[in-house]
Amino acid sequence: MFQIAPLFRGLAAIGLGFALLGCVLSQEQALPSAVRADVVGPRKIIALVPDPESAAQMRQATRSAGYQELDVTRLGGLDLTMLTYRMPDGVTGAQAIAALEAAVPTSTVGVNHAYRLQQQQGAAQALDYADTMMRWSEGGCAARVPIGLIDTAIDATSPALAGAEVITRAFFEGPSAKATHGTDVAAVLANPDRLRGVRIYSANVFGQPEAGDPVAGADALVRALDWLSGEEVRLVNLALAGPYNKLLNLAVDRAAARGLILVAAVGNEGPTVDPLYPAGFEEVIAVTAVDVEGRIYRNAVRGPHVDVAAPGVDVMLPTAGRLRFVTGTSIATPFVTARLAADPAVAAARNVSEARSRLAETSAELGPEGRDTVFGYGLALAENICGE
């Protein structure tokens, strides 16, 4: 690993200079004490089965028990079938899971947990520090692999994406959430100062309820992973987080077995909560956020699953002719995804373990020596990775 304290001291001095000129610092927020575990469609239950025989057994079991079949979809990219039902009145999610898994032992049955974006508006620190901090080579690197983006829709007409090829698909019905978050994440990925010639497969999984924040159902995430696996996308960015869900767990396992490298935000629920998902899965690279001085973002989730850190506090983004500053583990995640996409060693990696080892070898210590529960292996660096 690298030592990077001298760089932080220089950047911190610059940041202090701007603060003295009157920039407002981000206000600290109270830490939540529990993880939200909402669902999309409270009467909906979903089953994943591996073969036609299991699907037929599930359809027979649900029919006889009074479940209403809503959808049956073959997920060729994950080699699974998804069956969606409305539960009978008086049956809870836990009861439905137990009964249907007992009836069809090869099935994985779960409720449709909700997943949320992990980004907020930041205060203007007026310092575009991220590329310098990660030591990106001047002129950036060529993208070695296409990138999957599981997020909101993105605005492919944004000037920030002028050099990118964007393929889009939606995985839910109803009103779509605003494209701001997905466009922000895509802008980090496609910035030519980091990556050139980026191809982005944009999976829009976020709907907008009549009231409340945008949410993505576990079913939409499973469908998106199936699509990306079928398109042979090797690298996937997930700037979202939510509770453990066994359906998502199975889909992540299948995607990883097919060689997909998944990179996810650890989440912004605070340092005292249990791991959020998909970052909490062993098969996923979990990204946390730090500021210009290498200090951890105070709302970042912590734990032994954290793999690596990247800039994620008051990161400057150009939007519609003006500058915005955003904060959160969501915005740190695409910096790591971009760094992986630029590295020929990662393009040749056979699995996520090899990609994780590459990050461990090329990261800069931020905390105790070795991997720790706050920063993981440390700050992801992009120094000398282009291989050109």
Minimal CA–CA distance to 220: which of 271, 146, 152, 310? 152
Separation CA 156–CA 63 (nearest Å)? 44
Minimal CA–CA distance to 145: which of 330, 282, 338? 338
User: Which position among 155, 181, 219, 291 bears the catalytic label?
Assistant: 181
User: Which position among 26, 330, 343, 363 bears the catalytic label?
Assistant: 330
End-to-end Cα spacing for the chain? 22
**Residues 288/311, Cβ–Cβ less than 8 Å:** no
**Residues 179/214, Cβ–Cβ less than 8 Å:** no
Residues contacting residue 131 through CB under 8 Å, at least 6 positions apart: 193, 194
By CB neighbour count within 10 A (0-12 exposed, 13-18 middle, 19+ buried), where does 169 fall?
A: middle
Phi, psi (rounded to 5 degrees) for 354: -70, -40
Active site residue 305: no
Active site residue 181: yes
Other C-beta atoms within 10 Å of 10: how many? 11
Partners of 247 in beta bridges: none
Separation CA 100–CA 65 (nearest Å)? 10
User: Which position among 151, 184, 291, 343 bears the catalytic label?
Assistant: 151
C-alpha Rg value of the chain to the nearest Å = 21
Minimal CA–CA distance to 158: which of 168, 146, 150, 166? 166
Active site residue 330: yes
Q: Which residues carry out catalysis? A: 151, 181, 330
